[in-house]
Amino acid sequence: MEIERKWLVSDWPKTLPLIRVQHMEQGYLSRRPTVRIRLEKDDHEESYILCVKSSGRLSREEIEVAMTKEQFEGMKRVIGKPLIAKCRRSYALPDGHVLEVNCVEENFWYAEVEFETEAEAEAFDPGKTALSGYFQKEVTGIRGWSMGEYWEKTRF
């Protein structure tokens, strides 16, 4: 189960400890249900992932399966459109959560925090973090702000 909240941002945070930097390419085989392929690269490894997600906004079922490079490349050919390029930087929040900030094709920025339970997600107050002014607008549950919807807007 994936439980996360999402906000629009416009840059990398300046005051948090950086945990990890990943460069990604992702594309969609289906939007309903979401079926996505993704290449994740950092300084140490490359991972190829097939992901299936149920509908939902705050929480939804998410199944990730490792793929080979050959399987990824085959599915990429099936998609037949340029994959989305994005950079994700993960930062440690003082409360122990991880803030994932994504820069998508240099024109769409968003941040996410994942939670163990919906109650924990609903109780999270970004105004009580070191970044109270950083989060511009919460878009959790608002249509039009998912990566799948970005895919539809920019690839069709």
Quote the pLDDT of residue 30. Answer: 95
In the block, tokens 């929480």 appear at: 59
Beta bridge partners of 113: 5, 99
What is the percent of the chain where pLDDT is above 90? Answer: 85
Question: How many structural domains is the chain composed of?
Answer: 1
**90 and 19 Cβ atoms separated by less than 8 Å:** yes
Antiparallel, parallel or unpaired: β 59-60 and 62-67: unpaired
b/e map 37-56, b = 16+ CB within 10 Å: bbbeeeeeeeebbbbebeee
What count of other Cβ atoms lies within 10 Å of the Cβ of residue 63?
A: 11
CATH of the domain at 31: 2.40.320.10
Question: pLDDT averaged over the chain?
Answer: 94
Antiparallel, parallel or unpaired: β 2-8 and 62-67: unpaired
Quote the pLDDT of residue 129. Answer: 73
Question: Which residues span the domain enclosing 137?
Answer: 2-155
pTM for this structure?
A: 0.93
pLDDT band at 41 (very low <50, low <70, confident <90, very high): very high
Does residue 60 surpass a pLDDT of 90? yes
pLDDT, one tens digit per residue, over 99-153 is 999 999 998 999 999 999 999 999 999 887 778 789 999 999 899 999 999 999 9
Close Cβ partners of 79 (under 8 Å, ≥ 6 residues apart):
27, 28, 29, 37
Beta bridge partners of 65: 50
